[in-house]
Amino acid sequence: MVTIKQIADICGVSRGTVDRVLNNRGNVKPEKKEMILSVARELDYTPNPAGKALAARKTKLLLGIVMPSVGIEFFDIVIDAMKKAEKSYSYYGMKVEWHLTKGYDVDVQYKALENMIDRANAVIVSPINDDRIRDIIKRLTDNGIMVITINTDIEGSTRHCFVGTDYVNGGMTAGALMQMIGHGKLNIGITLGSLKILGHKLRLKGFEKIVDSSKNAKIIAVTEDEDDDICSYDRNTRMLQEHPEINAIFAASSGGIYGACRAVMAQKRTKDMTMVVFDTIPSTIEMIESDIIQATIYQHPRRQGQTAMQIAFDYLVYGIQPAKEKYLLSNEIRIKENVRAYY
């Protein structure tokens, strides 16, 4: 537990000088710098977070949050966790600016991100997988702003790190689980939000990978429900009518799960149908408790929010760079008995 003051005393310089060296602020003679650095290393100096935090109050830190979250229930939990974190971090002088939008309009997201340049010190974004977004993220990082992607990543961008889940693994887990709990040969219908959403595409990929290597399961049809329950109801009804042999449904959607359930119910197929879905939004929990859905993959929404906030906070207040490029939370299987989580 060495302090800057102690190092200063040992080296016979002032705390200001030590501070300059330790934080690479320049304006120190090379030989002094060397000495200070070696003493700090020798004594294993690590800054005291409380001291840093207190001093950080003097600067104004701005974190921008840009998410197309409106209307997607999964995000409600993520955002609730982020707001809790915001509150506890506010003591440290960190301000948060929220840009929550509805739908995947590239223009809207682009403008929101552009607006953060020259103002924010860090940005958390759930990005649309689009070239213009990649461009604006590059401009942000070029301006020294830390960019964290949450829940969905964006391929080939300069963002600092990603917080979310391994979507391919999620699909694989769902596929393997479906085969474990399904009865007899599985004829699978798939409903997903949109192939334009990277996560859904990857889930499908993982699921196919598992199912294609199995003799007891076969994918019969795939439909896109646009993350909308009404649309999902229509499309899934048609899918079930066209393929009455379907006896299992994999829902990789984020917004159309309830609609798919209603289609199954309307077609009076609940008895012999195996359904595996994602997330634990209220309607999904209800469907699990009514035995319409057998299992769901839980993706730690709360911890996704917490983790992203923590990374931003550690960077802004403590100057700590993220340790990893990807913070992947695990895919958990939930059934009726454990779907209502505790803490």
Partner DNA sequence: TTGAAAGCGATACCAC
Partner DNA sequence: GTGGTATCGCTTTCAA
Contact partner, 342, from its own copies, DNA, none, Cβ < 5-8 Å per class: its own copies
- The Cα 200–Cα 197 span in angstroms is 6
Tell me if 282 contacts its own copies by CB under 8 A: no
Interface residues with DNA (CB under 7 A) are: 1, 3-5, 12-17, 19-20, 22-23, 26-29, 32-33, 47-48, 50-52, 54-59, 319
Tell me if 327 contacts its own copies by CB under 8 A: yes
- 204 φ, ψ to 5°? -60, -45
Q: How far apart are the first and last CA of the chain?
A: 34
Tell me if 169 contacts its own copies by CB under 8 A: yes
Q: Pick the binder of its own copies from 24, 27, 46, 213 (CB under 8 A).
A: 46
How many beta carbons lie within 10 A of that of residue 298, not counting itself?
20
| Nearest distance, CB of residue 307 and its own copies, angstroms | 8
Tell me if 11 contacts its own copies by CB under 8 A: no
Q: Among the candidate windows 31-39, 136-144, 247-255, 323-331, which touches its own copies by CB under 8 A?
A: 323-331
Half-sphere exposure of 56 (CA within 13 A, CB side): 23
SS3 308: helix
| Nearest distance, CB of residue 50 and DNA, angstroms | 6
Q: Among the candidate windows 111-119, 166-174, 236-244, 259-267, which touches its own copies by CB under 8 A?
A: 166-174
Contact partner, 22, from DNA, its own copies, none, Cβ < 5-8 Å per class: DNA
Contact partner, 242, from DNA, its own copies, none, Cβ < 5-8 Å per class: none
Burial 45-55 (b: 16+ CB within 10 A, else e): bebeeeeebee
Q: Site residues for its own copies, window 201-240 (CB under 8 A)?
A: 210
DSSP string, 168-215: HHHHHHHHHHHHHHS-SSEEEEEEES-TTSHHHHHHHHHHHHHHHT-S
Tell me if 110 contacts its own copies by CB under 8 A: no
Instruction: Give the residue among 291, 287, 226, 232 at the shortest CA–CA distance from 263.
Output: 232
Residue found by looking up tokens 């509805």 in the block:
102
Binding site for its own copies (CB under 8 A): 1, 46, 48-51, 53-54, 57, 88, 90-92, 166, 169, 172-173, 175-177, 180-181, 210, 294-295, 298, 307, 327-338, 341-343
